[in-house]
Amino acid sequence: MNYSEIFEKAWRGMKDNLALAAGLTFVFLVGLWVVSLIPFFGLIVSSPMTFGYIRCLDRLRRGEVFEFADFFWGFTSLNRLIQISILGAIHLLGSLVGFCLLILPGVWWGIATSWASSYFVLKNQDGMESIRASLQITKGRWWSMFGLMLLIGILNLAGVLMLGLGILITMPLTFLVFLTVVDSYADRPPPAVVVEAAPQ
């Protein structure tokens, strides 16, 4: 996995619209903060809001004009809302079970299913299929994906340390990295495992 190529493609998708990406992210974060003030309701609403945010970023990187309705894309179809809920429930349940099993399985599951949301927005509108696709993308690449997630974590930490304003740039870049990974690996087979023959 070529990290520099992935980040370069992601950056290319937003560099000409930094102010727009930052403004979108600010609105998204304020929206999450507002709904988080409402017990239980905030948990239900935040996930579809995130999918709408990803949808807007995808249109931005394609050079398309996103509309106000795109921000609420996760709410505009009952079936889509149900599938988003299914995806979120599977991801959360798998993580909880994994962390109960000595933490490491939870870390594995968290990384392996990290790409499901981006796949859902780009390729599909089925929660189970998006989870399966994310697992397939990660197959044979888990350590590379883990390294990528560490880089993303460092990037966003740097964004927070820049008076918190840097997150308005690093956060959309993070989601664009996710979209780029799905674009690059969703249709590729897992890396072949080379088995060396025993010496005669």
> Which amino acid type is present at position 197?
A
In this prediction, residue 102 carries a pLDDT of 67
In this prediction, residue 104 carries a pLDDT of 80
Q: ∠ CA 62-63-69 to the nearest 5 degrees?
A: 85
In this prediction, residue 196 carries a pLDDT of 47
What's the predicted TM-score (pTM) here? 0.87
Cβ partners under 8 Å of residue 104, min gap 6: 98
DSSP label at residue 106: H
Cβ partners under 8 Å of residue 7, min gap 6: 151, 173, 177
Rounded distance between C-alpha atoms, residue 65 and residue 60, angstroms: 7
Rounded distance between C-alpha atoms, residue 107 and residue 158, angstroms: 23
Q: What is the pLDDT along the chain (200 residues), one digit of tens a residue?
A: 789 999 999 999 999 999 999 999 999 999 999 988 887 777 788 899 999 999 999 999 998 988 888 999 999 889 999 999 999 888 888 888 877 776 788 888 989 999 999 999 998 778 999 999 999 999 999 999 999 999 999 999 998 888 778 999 999 999 999 999 999 888 776 765 444 444 55
In this prediction, residue 150 carries a pLDDT of 94
What are the boundaries of each domain within the chain?
A: 3-185
In this prediction, residue 194 carries a pLDDT of 44
Rounded distance between C-alpha atoms, residue 181 and residue 72, angstroms: 24
Rounded distance between C-alpha atoms, residue 50 and residue 149, angstroms: 18
